[in-house]
Amino acid sequence: MLGTLQNDEIAMYRQLTEQADRYLKSLYEQDNIAVQLKRMLAELLEFGEANADAACRALRLSRRTLQRRLKAEKTSFQKVLHEVRAELAISYLRDTRIKAVEVSVLLGYSDISAFTTAFKSWYDMPPVEYRQRFLTEIT
C-alpha cells in the first residue's frame, strides 16, 4: 500500500510539473517582463515561493526595477500573479485526481476559502462547479 501511494504521488507530481512546463513553454515565445515574470512565478509556485522578493532574486532585478518595468507594460506583480494562478487553476482542476484543496495549496493559497474566493472572481463560479461543468463537457 505504501509503495503504491508513493508511486501515485510521484506520478501526480510528474503530471503537475508537466502541466506547469506546458504552460511555461507557451510563454517562452514572448519576451516582455510580464511574460518573464509569469514563467518565473509558475516555477516558484512549485516551491511555495511565489512572492515578489523571490521573483526579483530569480529575475536578477531590484524590486523597484521590476515595478517600474511592469508599470511600463501597464501591469503589476499582483496582476501577473493572479493571471498565473488563474491559468494554472484551470489546468489543475481538469485533473480529477487533484482535489480542490490540493489545487489551493499548489497555487499558494493559505486555505480553500481564499482559493474559492479568488476563483470566483476570475471565472464567476466556484472551483467545484467549474470542475463539474468541465467533466460534463468531456463525457
Contact in structure between 92 and 16 (CB atoms under 8 Å)? yes
Provide the sign of the torsion angle of the four alpha carbons 30, 49, 86, 7, taken in this order: positive
Condensed to tens digits (0 to 9), the pLDDT of residues 60-90 reads 999 999 999 999 999 999 999 999 999 999 9
Q: What is the reported pLDDT for 27?
A: 61
Q: CATH number, domain at 111? A: 1.10.10.60
H runs (alpha helix) in 28-111: 33-46, 52-59, 63-72, 77-93, 100-106
Buried b (16+ CB within 10 A) or exposed e, 72-98: eeebebeebbebbbebbbbebbeeeeb
| Global pTM value | 0.76
Condensed to tens digits (0 to 9), the pLDDT of residues 8-64 reads 788 888 888 888 877 776 665 556 999 999 999 999 998 888 899 999 999 999 999
Whole-angstrom distance, CA of residue 23 vs CA of residue 19: 6
Helix (H) or strand (E) holding 60: none
Which domain, by its residues, includes 113?
2-138
The domain tally of the chain equals 1
